[in-house]
Amino acid sequence: MVMPTILADRYASLDYTESTNNHVFMKSCTNGYFEQNKYHQHVQVEEHNAAPLAKQLIGDALRERVESIDHENCEAGEEDTFFVADLGEVYRQHLRWKLNLPRVKPFYAVKCNPDPKLLQLLSALGTGFDCASKAEIEQVLNMGVDPSRIIYAQPCKTKSYLRYVANQGVRQMTFDNADELRKIARLYPGAELYLRILTDDTSSLCRLSMKFGASLDSTDSLLALARELGLNVVGVSFHVGSGASDPRAFLKAVQDAHVVFQQAASYGYSLHTLDVGGGFCSDETFEQMAGVLRLALDEYFPAHSGINLIAEPGRFYASAAFTLACNIIARRTIQDSELINNGTMTPDTSYMVYVNDGLYGNFSSIMFDHQHPVAKVLRANGQTLYDTAAAEANTDGDGVEYSIWGPTCDGIDRITESIRFPVVLDVGDWLYFEDMGAYTKCSATTFNGFSNEHDVIYVCSEPGARALLGL
């Protein structure tokens, strides 16, 4: 049986009088938890009903927050955008990973979303961490994670950062060029090195091969130099690009990695690890991608070979776990003047709505990650519409047309060019966006003086995750 849990990152009212027998916890300033309420109605939910339970918990958290705000009298910032994060979704994604890629240990890409609760759960699940900077490494180490569970997956490292990781005992790191090898030889000769190879990432959302990766015609000379410098090469890594869509990219990369393993053996190296990088999406394409990768690994790096397999998933874990709520702060009415002047028909009224988040904030994923967030109506006309038909956009051309804009003075700060809803939205209403956990708040800015620090309300729809977090 499941007893849902809700976590919140600051003191706030979360009195779900219409909800189930959930336990509500609030995070204290000392990072502890205290029980606030028990609900009187007992509803038993089987574990396999995770999806409806998750929707219920997310919806309850969204509703309680937005319904508690008095837009006429609230303090400045009380109506700011906020997240609801279901840690149970992260837990389910981990089970999905283990089911489809049982031989591959995930090293979560911290850059995707460094949310502390997300990292705490992943640490408890036993994942490793892919870090690309001193700050990311420091954050993970401060959680008590052993340095052996971190890979410094940045082929071009700052000298002072190299000295830092040497002092901290973070040994695993990547390289892809001769200058980097010489730098490592001077500053951290005891490092455990992974040769990052070039891949075909033309099908990915964010291509990385233009910046990183050694071509196969240069890997032999790099291995020779590493041997000459007395460095310890222990593995090969690749990355088919963030948000990859062509499974064949994994197959070709595994084949190329196998070639490099053979090259390394000719120089006396006994490589023991293959890092297959990231590129895994959380949607229905994951099973297909994982299936191709799994078969390729079984052929070129079978279990009996003794090769360790790791990966660097990011969006796979984080994307679907976070829902973002935005408040409509202004509205502009647009009428088709041509129709009015013509007098042949009733003018079609549309609206420009301005919300308190945008491309310079948590919607940075539109520019940097090529995402297309879809707005849904959270609250309008005094009613909360989360997860109802009225919340969804019309796709048949009916309804009221809107464009959705961010709060800054920059004209490019547009979230949605055109969308139709069955309701008329006004100032004070709320929209929500699902799948907002990947490359959103991590790349938000403070442009125009708008905050990039927004509340996260945590809910947990999986008892396993609750147990790992000690709730």
What are the catalytic residues? Answer: 409
Interstrand relation of 23-27 and 33-38 (parallel, antiparallel or unpaired): antiparallel
* Exposure letters 97-114 (e unless 16+ CB within 10 A, then b): beebbeebbbbbbbbbbb
Query: Encoding tokens for residue 143?
Result: 């959680």
Q: Which of 202, 290, 298 is nearest to 250 (CA)?
A: 290
Query: φ, ψ for residue 50 (rounded to 5)?
Result: -65, -40
CB proximity list for 52: less than 8 A, separation 6 or greater: 45
CB 401 within 8 A of CB 350: yes
CB proximity list for 396: less than 8 A, separation 6 or greater: none
Report the distance separating Cα 459 and Cα 178, nearest Å: 47
Local structure of residue 74 (DSSP, 8 states): P
Residue showing tokens 């574990």: 47
Query: Encoding tokens for residue 101?
Result: 């890629």
Q: Helix crossing, 87-100 with 50-67: angle to 10°?
A: 150
Report the distance separating Cα 401 and Cα 418, nearest Å: 7
Report the distance separating Cα 410 and Cα 359, nearest Å: 10
Report the distance separating Cα 205 and Cα 207, nearest Å: 6
Report the distance separating Cα 265 and Cα 195, nearest Å: 13
Helices (H), 68-211: 87-100, 116-124, 134-141, 159-168, 178-187
* Exposure letters 225-249 (e unless 16+ CB within 10 A, then b): bbeeeebebbbbbbbbbbbbbbbeb
Residue showing tokens 């079609």: 348
Straight-line distance from the first to the last Cα atom of the chain, in angstroms, rounded to the nearest whole number: 16
Q: Quote the strand ranges of 182-338, DSSP E.
A: 192-196, 232-237, 273-275, 308-311, 322-335
